[in-house]
Amino acid sequence: MNRRRDFFRSVGQGMLVAGLGFSTAFDLGLSPALGDDDAQSIDFGSSESLVRLMQDTTAERLLPKLTEKLNAGTKLRELVAAAALANARTFGGEDYIGFHTMMALVPSFQMSQRLRSAEQAMPVFKVLYRNSNRIQEHGGHGSEKMHHIALDSATNASPDGKRLLELVRNKDLEGAEQAFAQIVNSVPTQPDHAFNELLFAVQDHTEVHRIALPYRAWDLIDIVGVENAHTMLRQSVRYCVKAESPRYTEHCKGGRDILPKLLDAYKLLSRPLGTTPAADDWVLSISQQLFRTTPAGAAELVAAALSEGIDPAAVGEAISLAANQLVLRDAGRPEKQTSAGKPVGSVHGDSIGVHASDSANAWRNMAAVSNQRNTIACLILAGHQVAFDRTNRGGDFLNWEPYPTAEHQQRIDTKSPKTLLAIADSAIRMNDQAAACAAFATYGQLGHAADGAFDLLLGFAISEDGALHAEKYYQTVADDFANTRKALRWRHLLGLARVTASEYGQKAPGYHQAKELLGV
């Protein structure tokens, strides 16, 4: 996410001509398919045959065919790219399982780079199986929601992010699609321009999927190629339009209301971003304040820090550490919030902490590649959201004690890295979240290599289902760990240990088939 990409001139990547209302069916992935039967399908050129393979093949038959492709010389990156394009064309950012699968593609590829060559396809195959399975459930190639979009030659308008936001608020899907296509085409060699204008609409609400989707779509551009950048990013336009409703706005409007007030009050757009480094104590203190205060108070804490010239990266560290507390302190799902694969006491999947951590990670990564206005806005809204997640999603987080407790750690009586990893492995297999955290906490305090911990947890991130979030959260933690100072970074890995122990016992569909095909 810390790089800039050139943008290919083409923007001809799809549209729907009718909007969809926001409803509970959205969260269930059951919303009806709407569209123009005569709409022109997007053609992905040299990638089209592989994209169609992803759309037209049942999940059970897909992995053998992909194994043949790999053995014949197709690169793993090409398979990920085809899956991303098939996903975007089929779902258009409107299907719950569909866009979660899209968001897992880059993480699965990044996970593959940690493995020896014979095993590298394992995490990717897991997600590609899920992708094609959902595409088949959706109706395959014939059910596509995203179609080719042609620029309106009759208008000389030059829309910007504010105009895009207006169209989104009006639930004008056709208008929003056309406006974004024109934005893309206005500076066709610079993806930054389109991304920065898109963020005006994204920032209108602080809701996890609205935030994570554009970040993961942006990150996919390196894999799908710049010629498909518009296809990736317009998924967010469509998501935002579909989500718009009075109920949705009421739920998330706090950030919408406070952002312009803070930008003005602290004169944040009239001075350059600061570069003042922050001490470890400052980052820890701010993270604790963000965790304990109100959403409005958290937003103002961030604005004040930025106005004082603190390096935005340090502010992002503090926000992610605050979100991490929602993982470590979670009392687990109560009976009324359980579902298949997510029992009482579990903290994996769409838990408050996992969602908060993924959101904070997305905000800070988008801030890192945005213009000054959006860097500031992303961080202010990230602070607001982490406090909102603590106060408005349920739970007594201020009084719950973070894992591992002193009692948990007192049970660890070894300093051997090999033994500590074995204890952690056993604890995970017993779903003992506390013991897993305690083993890794001791391991980290003793200065043992983080790679040993990540390698152990990687195996489970591949084998377990994770309720749509295993790959994404693994990579969130890997990224946050790498971009957090040494004195504080192990907190993130403890969160991953806890979530891994929670999710163990539900093998991912396609996992055993992939192992057999790859001979690992």
Q: Give all domains of the chain, ordered by start, each with its CATH number.
A: 8-244 (no CATH), 253-392 (no CATH), 406-510 (1.20.272)
Taking the whole predicted model, whether its pTM rises above 0.85 is answered as yes
**What tokens does 2 get?**
């810390």
Q: What is the full per-residue pLDDT of the chain (520 aa) written as tens digits?
A: 443 333 332 333 332 222 222 223 333 333 333 334 357 999 999 999 999 999 999 999 999 999 999 999 999 999 999 999 999 999 999 999 999 999 999 999 999 999 999 999 999 999 999 999 999 999 999 999 999 998 887 776 789 999 999 999 999 999 999 999 999 988 877 888 999 999 999 999 999 999 999 999 999 999 999 899 999 999 999 999 999 999 988 888 788 999 999 999 999 999 999 999 999 999 999 999 999 999 999 999 999 999 999 999 999 999 999 999 999 999 999 999 999 999 999 999 999 999 999 999 999 999 999 999 999 999 999 999 999 999 987 789 999 999 999 999 999 999 999 999 999 999 999 999 999 999 999 999 999 999 999 999 999 999 999 999 999 999 999 999 999 999 999 999 999 999 999 999 999 999 999 999 999 9
Smallest Cα–Cα separation from 476: which of 366, 325, 354? 354
CA angle 222, 225, 231 (to 5 degrees): 105
Residues in the chain: 520
Dihedral sign of CA atoms 60, 66, 68, 70 in order? negative
Contact predicate 376/258, CB 8 Å: no
Which residue(s) pair with 507 in the sheet? Answer: 464
Smallest Cα–Cα separation from 412: which of 445, 450, 453, 457? 445
Smallest Cα–Cα separation from 79: which of 50, 101, 108? 50
Pairwise CA distance, residues 455 & 461, whole Å: 10
DSSP tally for the chain: helices H, then strands E: 24, 0
**Residue 221 in 3-state DSSP?**
helix
